């Protein structure tokens, strides 16, 4: 459910900070027309990922959870010539819609979509060409599995961002036993004792409601 006040707030800020963008807007429209759920990152969050990737000077980005490629486009646009983004998606239909959206955005040649369960796809990737940044945004019960794979595949000094770690505060509510919240808790429990990682949660509010990103630096 979209909170109208926060939708207005996002739109207000975006009206100063984000230029109208045909490729991104058509990606959302085309995803919707093809029946994909409206669970992409928000515009402001997409731009944040883009700026983060640019600030880090990334050449290689890993994404888990492609959907229609909305966050993929934001991230791929941060890549220099010769840069590469690998994104893992379970559903062939989502991957097909994403491919069309990436083509329209002119970033298709930089993006490899691997279709199948991400746990299997990630296990097959080799860290010989490490990634600079990973963005994890797929099935939440597998968060820890994806994080551990990202740790193996992202260089030291690289960054792993995990989406939806606050979930309107449900993650911190012991009465909430849903598998998504449990998936976030498993990751947090792991991070408590993982000395290779420094992390923080940035809680956010906007058109997608109250949620947050986990930002992890691999030491
Ligand atoms: N990152 C996208 C964006 O912001 O535009 C949104 C991704 S959406 C929240 C999550 C995606 O993960 C869905 O497309 C879903 O099909 C995919 N997914 C779910 N389970 C998966 C799995 N086991 N392996 C890979 N992808 C999976």
Pair 112, 42: CB distance under 8 Å: no
Of ligand 1's listed atoms, the one at least distance from the Cα of 70 is 5
Tokens standing for 29? 């429209």
Nearest-angstrom CA–CA distance, 146 and 111: 19
> Rounded CA gap, 27 and 25, in Å?
5
Dihedral angle computed from the Cα positions of residues 29, 32, 33 and 36, in that order, rounded to the nearest 10 degrees: 140
- Cα(55) to ligand 1 centroid in Å equals 25
- Single pTM value for the model: 0.98
Residue 193's contacts (CB-CB under 8 Å, 6 or more residues apart) are none
Nearest to 18 by CA among 55, 40, 51, 52: 51
Strand partners, 218: 197
Ligand 1 site residues (CB inside 6 A) read: 39-41, 65-67, 70-71, 88-91, 94, 117-118, 137-139
Domains along the sequence of the chain with CATH: 4-218 (3.40.50.150)
Most ligand 1 atoms within 8 A of CB, residue of 89, 123, 161, 213 to mutate: 89
The residue among 147, 95, 153, 144 whose CA lies nearest residue 124 is 153
pLDDT tens string, the chain, 219 residues long: the values are 568 899 999 999 999 999 999 999 999 999 999 999 999 999 999 999 999 999 999 999 999 999 999 999 999 999 999 999 999 999 999 999 999 999 999 999 999 999 999 999 999 999 999 999 999 999 999 999 999 999 999 999 999 999 999 999 999 999 999 999 999 999 999 999 999 999 999 999 988 889 999 999 999
Q: Is 120 exposed, middle or buried (0-12, 13-18, 19+ CB in 10 A)?
A: exposed
């Amino acid at each position: 459910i979209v909170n109208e006040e926060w939708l207005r707030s996002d739109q207000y800020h975006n009206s100063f900070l984000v230029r109208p963008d045909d490729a991104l807007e058509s990606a959302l429209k085309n995803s919707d027309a093809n029946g994909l759920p409206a669970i992409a990152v928000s515009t402001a969050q997409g731009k944040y990922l883009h700026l983060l990737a640019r600030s880090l000077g990334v050449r290689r980005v890993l994404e888990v959870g492609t959907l229609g490629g909305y966050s993929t486009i934001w991230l791929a646009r941060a890549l220099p010539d010769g840069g590469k983004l690998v994104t893992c998606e379970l559903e062939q239909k989502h991957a097909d819609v994403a491919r069309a959206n990436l083509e329209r955005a002119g970033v298709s040649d930089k993006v490899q979509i691997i279709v199948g369960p991400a746990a299997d796809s990630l296990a097959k990737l080799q860290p010989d060409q490490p990634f600079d940044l990973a963005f994890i945004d797929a099935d939440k019960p597998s968060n820890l599995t994806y994080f551990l794979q990202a740790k193996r595949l992202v260089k030291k000094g690289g960054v792993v961002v995990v989406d939806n770690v606050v979930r309107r505060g449900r993650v911190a509510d012991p009465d909430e036993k849903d598998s998504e919240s449990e998936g976030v808790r498993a990751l947090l429990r792991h991070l408590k004792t993982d000395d290779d990682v420094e992390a923080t949660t940035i809680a956010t509010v906007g058109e997608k409601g109250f949620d947050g990103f986990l930002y992890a630096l691999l030491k």
